[in-house]
Amino acid sequence: MVISIHLDSDTPLYEQLRNQIVIGIATGELAAEEKLPTVRQLAEDLGINTMTVNKAYSILKQEGYIVIDRRHGAKVSPRSTQTQDGSNHTAQLEEQLQLIIAQATIKGIDQSRFQALCSTIFAQMKYQH
């Protein structure tokens, strides 16, 4: 998987990195139990600080997308771990969707166009139950 970050974006670098890894898992570009680059290697490849990568990996671990082992490094969590609902992911998703829908509405995107966009993007996701 090719990860690219945008230094001029308003989105923090750690968040960009986190988001791209989540999308990589959902689209199948990153397989369950696939080894991720070390913090140092990924930071070097992207030209960013190791603390930025470490923060992204920590968030991904907390959210259950990756597991980190001191001896074996970071790898994508097994699928069964990713689907466990230890916290209220639905409420968090609703909050995020509410903001996205509000932004779309303000930009003049109507419900049918928004739903079509959602369907197109959802179809690209390989990780579905």
* pLDDT, tens digit only, all 129 positions of the chain: 889 999 999 999 999 999 999 999 999 999 999 999 999 999 999 999 999 999 999 999 999 999 999 888 999 999 755 555 555 678 888 999 999 999 999 999 999 999 999 999 999 887 655
Say if CB 1 and CB 24 are below 8 A apart.
Answer: yes
Give me the residue spans of the domains in the chain. Answer: 13-82, 89-123
Q: Tokens 């670098």 appear where?
A: 13
Query: Would you say domain 13-82 falls under CATH 2.160.10.10?
Result: no
Distance between CA atoms of residues 64 and 77, nearest Å: 7
